[in-house]
Structures are given as structure tokens and as C-alpha cells.
A and B are shown apart, each in its own frame.
Chain A
């Protein structure tokens, strides 16, 4: 897990954290994924959910699973009930 149990971070993914850990700018990450910088910004801010191929590409780039990077809010809500 990337954050302590019980802490609600209010974000749908940890892409920004992973990116800053690597010391990359949004433009650099966009370059590595061959997408626009706006795409990275939209994914980080939760404005846009990537398709499966792009999510897999992101997961591969950071050496993690999709579930580790993207938080399934629906599943989290069900688990909380």
C-alpha cells in the first residue's frame, strides 16, 4: 500500500506521486507514454480515466499493477459498507 490505512486522500490515482518520485515533469511523462501533456494532467487530476491499453502502459512504465496505481472508488465504497 502507498498510504496508511484509513487516510482518505481524495484522489483516484497516484500517478502524480509516482511521477514526482521519478523526478519527471508532466511533459516528460507524456513523452514517455507518447500522449499529450494535457492527457497526463487530466489523468492525474481525475478528470479523465485512461483506457485499458493506456493504463497498462502506465503500469508497465512504473513497474506496478494497475490496481496499485488506480483506485477503484466503487469497490472501495462497497468494501466500506
Chain B
């Protein structure tokens, strides 16, 4: 099977989705923070805000998936390894936090934070490639 070697196109298509979606995400977060009082707002409005804030993130996840499909073979391999490492680190942390809670060592932690942890781990796993030597 012929493998795509479209590094630039894949990057361009990723950025075209990533940056607008991040702008939408920030706008929604700031908008809901300053315009809506979630203690007084009806449940349906809070739910709508939560879904609206999540939608751009889903689109970014789709962009990551599409980029790994479309990019060149070596980049795909590195991305998939980084995603694997991020997934393993995040699930490891989930187990650790879960057991710490079960044994009453720590209190509740917002599940939300495991999302940023995943992307932080993904970034960390990709860090070594930033120091590749150019000849």
C-alpha cells in the first residue's frame, strides 16, 4: 500500500483546524466565565455551556487523528508513540489518584484535569524531537 508522504499538507490542515478551534474554545470559556453565573443559571444552560466548551476540543482531537493519518510515515510513527506514552502516563496517574482516593489519602480531584495531563504528557513525549540536529 502506498503510504502518504504529505508532511506539509498534513501540518497545514492541522493548523487550519487547531488555531481557530483554540480561539473558539478560549472565547467560550471566557464568555461562560464572565457572562453566566453557573450557580444561578438553569441546568440546561450550564449543560449547553459545557457541551459548547467541549465541541472545539473534540474537533482538535479529530484534527490530531487526521494529521497522524495524513502525515509522512516517520512522523506518524513518532506521533503514535507519543500518543501511546501520553495514554499510558495518564492512565497510570488515573490509577494512582483513584487508589489514593480509595484509601482516603487524598480528597476529590476534578476529572477534568486528566485531559490537560494527557496533552502535557503528549507534549513531553514529543519534546526530544525538538532537539534533533539539522545538518
Contact = CB atoms under 8 A, between A and B. Distances in A.
Interface of A: 16, 25-27, 30-31, 33-39, 41-44, 48, 50-51, 53-54, 57
Given A53-B2, A53-B5, A57-B5, A36 B135 contact: no
A34 B73 contact: no
Contacts, number: 60
B66 interface: no
Interface residues of B, number: 19
B75 interface: yes
B116 interface: no
B73 to A, nearest CB: 5
A48 B76 CA distance: 12
Contact of A35 (B2, B75, B129, B133): B75
